């Protein structure tokens, strides 16, 4: 008898339907798997055999052939175990009358018959629902993640025996209730907050502009001036996640296996990879299964690179294309996948190797040649893509000791939300969300400069020898400054302020 059960494979963030066909026939006992299964799938033979026996079920002593269709798609991982077990039971007539048509079975089996969680469940469910499936059997450990998918019957099971009882109507499993998404702001009691940042008015202003328009930010200053503290405040002033954004970010973290107990991402990501991170760690990859890297895990949030020049040159250069396109394509010999990578880059660095160059109260011990070598670690094309380059100076003792009230992250976030609402209205139907994402078409349509503003920009362009990309990014920043000021026009003051945030262009 031949039985057919549906499960799913992952290709990047998309689920691909796989039909598990099992043929149990008379003959010398054998157990073969075909259809491009990888090692983990082939090993499911023994997991399924033990799980069936330890669940009080019979393993057929016949000639067994299991085919994973389509045959040209490589099947990877252990998420096919449950589908293989159910197809074996059905083909050996141990599930007579069980309704399995139109049901997707997902889960890894333990030797004792327990169902273990799988990575990438949410993207699989979303894809399967898009393909017309509405009934799913999933591991109970994945229940929280699966509960955010509406419009489907999802049955969480802890063991194989529980699934069998459900299919034979001996003991039905209650379907999951759809959970309501509640976003969590990053601002929490005792956590990072701008009210704890003393001094640094220019850096605080730049941080607000960066978040309001989705711009990239570079903080340059001596050690101990608060660069890292400022960066950690970024998520606290970013708008709360929408449900659609949360689902997209959750899909990435689910595939990477970094999803928390809540089952869905409720805060904007803040990723801080170590400076020893490789290109693969940054961009994603893997020998068999292609997984997202740090830039994709930061999608919708912040990628913070502390001490930027200490990172590998190759890892930094790999950021250039994702910063432009908002996505990364990872290619290997056996295929390629594209992951979202629309993140806000925040980086920090010292002005020189000793960190004291330009300091009013510390002496720099570096030679001009050492300073040039240090700064050359960051390429011009990468710096060009960082919209705001800001100096973070040392804070005077009186400011550190002052008890004067400072603006909190919540207050800054209110202004950011107003600016973001202006941008949503402006870009409705344009495929653009924030000013930083504007292309040339949007720049022409929404960023007309006054004659005085144009003259200021022309003078800066010629004096600072700016690139065409730098000019466009200055206009985008000026548009954000105008939005924060609730101004329809980009005024000369807005352009002047935007130009002032290009410190490396000013230094030449």
Q: What tens digit of pLDDT does each residue of 387-405 get?
A: 999 999 888 888 888 888 8
Instruction: Give per-residue pLDDT as tens, 284-303.
Output: 988 778 899 999 999 999 99
Neighbours of 440 (CB within 10 A): 9
Confidence (pLDDT) at 190: 54
Q: Which of 4-8, 334-338, 353-357 holds the top average pLDDT?
A: 4-8
pLDDT score recorded for residue 151: 93
The domains located in the chain, with CATH, are: 2-167 (3.30.230.10), 194-437 (3.40.50.300)
**pLDDT for position 224:** 87
Average pLDDT over the chain, rounded to whole? 92
Residue in 112, 168, 107, 117 with CA at minimum distance from that of residue 137: 107
Pairing type for strands 2-11 and 14-25 reads antiparallel
Q: Span 185-208, mean pLDDT?
A: 82
Asked whether the predicted pLDDT for residue 198 surpasses 90, the reply is no
- Tokens 């489907």 sit on residue: 152
Residue 227 near residue 221, CB atoms below 8 Å: yes
Give residue-wise pLDDT tens across range 27-83: 888 999 999 888 878 889 999 999 999 999 999 999 999 999 998 888 888 899 999
In the block, tokens 């689910």 appear at 254
In angstroms, the CA 380 to CA 383 distance is 5
The answer to whether 250 and 265 are in contact (CB under 8 A) is: yes
- Across 308-327, average pLDDT: 95
- What pLDDT score was predicted for residue 506? 53
pLDDT (average), residues 81-108: 94
Task: Check: CB of residue 346 under 8 Å from CB of residue 217.
Answer: yes
91: three-class secondary structure by DSSP: helix
The confidence band for 334, taking pLDDT boundaries of 50, 70 and 90, is confident
| Percent of the chain at pLDDT exceeding 90 | 78
What's the confidence (pLDDT) of residue 225? 87
3-state SS track over 330-399: EEECCEEEEEECCCEEEEEECCCCCCCCCCCCCCCCCCHHHHHHHHHCCCHHHHHCCCEEEECCCCCHHH
Residue among 321, 244, 241 nearest 279 (CA): 321
pLDDT at 402: 82
DSSP string, 95-134: STT---TTEEE--EEPTTSBEEP-TTHHHHHHHHHHTT--
Q: Could you tell me which of 163, 159, 178, 210 has the C-alpha nearest to residue 419?
A: 210
Predicted pLDDT at 297: 98
Residue pLDDT, tens place only, 181-192: 988 765 555 578
Alpha-carbon distance values, 57 to 14, 53, 91, 418 (Å):
34, 5, 13, 61
3-state secondary structure at position 25: strand
Share of the chain above pLDDT 70, in %: 98
pLDDT the model gives residue 321: 94
Q: Which residue has the higher pLDDT, 397 or 507?
A: 397
The whole-angstrom separation of Cα 124 and Cα 144 is 15
> E strands along 237-324, which residues?
270-271, 284-285, 291-292, 302-305
Query: Is the model's pLDDT at 131 over the cut of 70?
Result: yes
């Amino acid at each position: 008898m031949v039985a057919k059960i549906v499960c799913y494979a992952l290709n990047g963030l998309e689920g691909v339907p796989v039909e598990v066909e099992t043929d149990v026939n008379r003959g010398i006992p054998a157990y073969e798997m075909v259809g491009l299964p990888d090692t983990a799938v082939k090993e499911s033979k023994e997991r399924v055999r033990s799980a069936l026996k330890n669940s009080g079920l019979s393993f057929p002593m016949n000639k067994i052939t299991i085919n994973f269709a389509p045959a040209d798609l490589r099947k990877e991982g252990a998420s096919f175990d449950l589908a293989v077990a159910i197809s074996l039971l059905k083909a050996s007539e141990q599930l007579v009358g069980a309704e399995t048509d139109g049901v997707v079975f997902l889960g890894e089996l333990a030797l004792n018959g327990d169902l273990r969680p799988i990575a990438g469940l949410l993207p699989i469910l979303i894809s399967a629902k898009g393909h017309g499936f509405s009934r799913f059997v999933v591991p109970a450990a994945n229940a929280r993640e699966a509960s955010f998918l509406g419009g489907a019957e999802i049955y969480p099971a802890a063991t194989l025996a529980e699934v069998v009882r459900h299919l034979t109507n001996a003991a039905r499993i209650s379907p999951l209730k759809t959970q309501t998404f509640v976003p969590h702001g990053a601002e929490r009691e005792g956590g990072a907050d701008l009210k704890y940042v003393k001094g640094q008015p220019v850096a605080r202003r730049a941080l607000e502009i960066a978040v309001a328009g989705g711009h990239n930010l570079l903080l340059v200053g001596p050690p101990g001036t608060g660069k890292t503290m400022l960066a950690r405040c970024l998520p606290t002033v970013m708008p709360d996640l929408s449900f659609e954004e949360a689902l997209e970010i959750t899909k990435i973290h689910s595939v990477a296996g970094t999803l928390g107990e809540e089952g869905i991402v409720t805060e904007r990501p803040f990723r801080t990879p170590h400076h020893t991170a490789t290109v693969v760690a940054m961009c994603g990859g893997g020998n068999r299964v292609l997984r997202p890297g740090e830039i994709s895990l930061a999608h919708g949030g912040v990628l913070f690179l502390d001490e930027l020049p200490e990172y590998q040159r190759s890892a930094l250069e790999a950021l250039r294309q994702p910063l432009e396109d908002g996505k990364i394509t990872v290619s290997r010999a056996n295929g390629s996948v594209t992951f979202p990578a629309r993140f806000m880059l925040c980086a920090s660095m010292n002005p020189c190797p000793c960190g004291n160059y330009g300091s009013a109260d510390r002496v720099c011990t570096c030679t001009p040649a050492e300073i040039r070598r240090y700064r050359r670690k960051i390429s011009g094309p990468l710096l060009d893509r960082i919209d705001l380059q800001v100096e973070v100076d040392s804070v005077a003792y009186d400011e550190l000791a002052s008890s004067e009230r400072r603006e909190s992250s919540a207050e800054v976030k209110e202004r950011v939300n107003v600016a973001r609402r202006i941008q949503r209205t402006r870009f409705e139907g344009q495929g653009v969300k924030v000013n930083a994402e504007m292309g040339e078409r949007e720049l022409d349509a929404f960023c007309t400069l006054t004659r005085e503003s144009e003259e200021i920009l022309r003078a800066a362009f010629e004096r600072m020898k700016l690139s065409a990309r730098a000019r466009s990014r200055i206009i985008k920043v000026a548009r954000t400054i105008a939005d924060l000021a609730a101004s329809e026009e980009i005024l000369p003051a807005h352009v002047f302020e935007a130009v002032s945030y290009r410190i490396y262009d000013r230094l030449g």
